[in-house]
Structure 1
Amino acid sequence: MNTAAAYEPYASTGRSWLSRSEAWLDSKGKGAWIAVMVLGFIFFWPVGLALLAYLIWSKRMFGKSCRNSRSTVLSQGFKASRTTGNAVFDAYKADTLRRLEEEQEQFESFLERLREAKDKAEFDQFMEDRSRRVAETQKTEDENA
């Protein structure tokens, strides 16, 4: 395998060494981030602490959504339009990828609707509790007056 081709996605001249390092670590997975963080703690603890803060802030530490995984795959140089030379297989692959993208969009919109419904239910419960407390307070004040 050509090693220059393997690192081609990271050799972009418009990107800094920091963003290239981030892309490289993303391609290696969460274990690489943890290893670098541990090494940072071992050699110079502020570096490890800074990496830990970055991992938590960027949500790399506690799992990844499909969207993040997809962007990681795309940043690695994956091209869905790459042909195999077999027209039937390429058509099947294109159709399958299109169908999967549609399903992913539908699932993400379902999750968004689910979050909105949960938020609405929590807000409605809050408003109900609040109105109940206000009514009880007024009832207590009326009895005491």
Structure 2
Amino acid sequence: MTPAAAYSSTPQARMSWLSKSEAWLDSKGKGAWIAAMVLGFVFFWPVGLALLFYMIWSKQMFGKNCRHRAHRTQHGFHAMKSSGNTAFDAYKTDTLRRLEHEQDDFEAFLQRLRDAKDKAEFDEFMDERAKTAAEGRKEEDA
């Protein structure tokens, strides 16, 4: 193997090592990322800083959607494995689909409630403002 060939294969090997490390930390959860970052700061602060920036940049630390998506993926993967019994698998698929539909409907209902509450608060504010303005005009006229 020539030195140029050895050099060109090194980034791929390093990339697979980094990818494997990232996948391992992802499988362990957010606590593993935090522990790795703290250990990075303890042993060599630029490593900890690099991990912190990576977690913020990739939204590992603060991403609600990422957590929700990972949660669904983990449970969805195990739930969609075939049991070998086609009738049970059909029932399970139908039940999971129904539950996801109910969850989506409930989230939409909650959003409508939030919107209605916001509208009621805004209407109350506007009524109060109009009442204050009307009282101000009555005092000026008197």
Q: Shorter-chain TM-score: which interval? A: 0.5 to 0.7
**2:70 alignment partner, one of 68, 71, 86:** 68
Give 2:7's aligned residue.
none
Per mean C-alpha deviation after superposition, the further-off stretch among 16-25 and 127-136 is 16-25
Q: Is residue 49 from structure 1 mapped to residue 49 from structure 2 by the alignment?
A: no
Contact 2:25 2:33 in 1 (8 A): yes
Q: Is residue 130 from structure 1 mapped to residue 135 from structure 2 by the alignment?
A: no
Give 2:117's aligned residue.
121
CA deviation profile, 1:32-60 (whole Å, cap 9, x unmatched) = 22222222333324224314533344238
Runs of 5+ consecutive residues of structure 2 not aligned to the other structure: 1-14
Which structure carries more helix by proportion?
2
Relative contact order, higher structure (CA 8 A, sep 6+):
1
Shift, 1:69, TM fit: 1.0
Give 1:39's aligned residue.
39
Q: Is residue 29 from structure 1 mapped to residue 29 from structure 2 by the alignment?
A: yes
Instruction: Calculate the TM-score normalised by the size of structure 1.
Output: 0.61
Larger radius of gyration between Structure 1 and Structure 2: 2
CA distance, structure 2, for counterparts of residue 79 and residue 143 of structure 1 = 70
**2:95 alignment partner, one of 99, 120, 125:** 99
Runs of 5+ consecutive residues of structure 1 not aligned to the other structure: 1-15
Shift, 1:92, TM fit: 0.7
Contact 1:25 1:33 in 2 (8 A): yes
Which amino acid in 1 is paired with 2:134?
A: Q
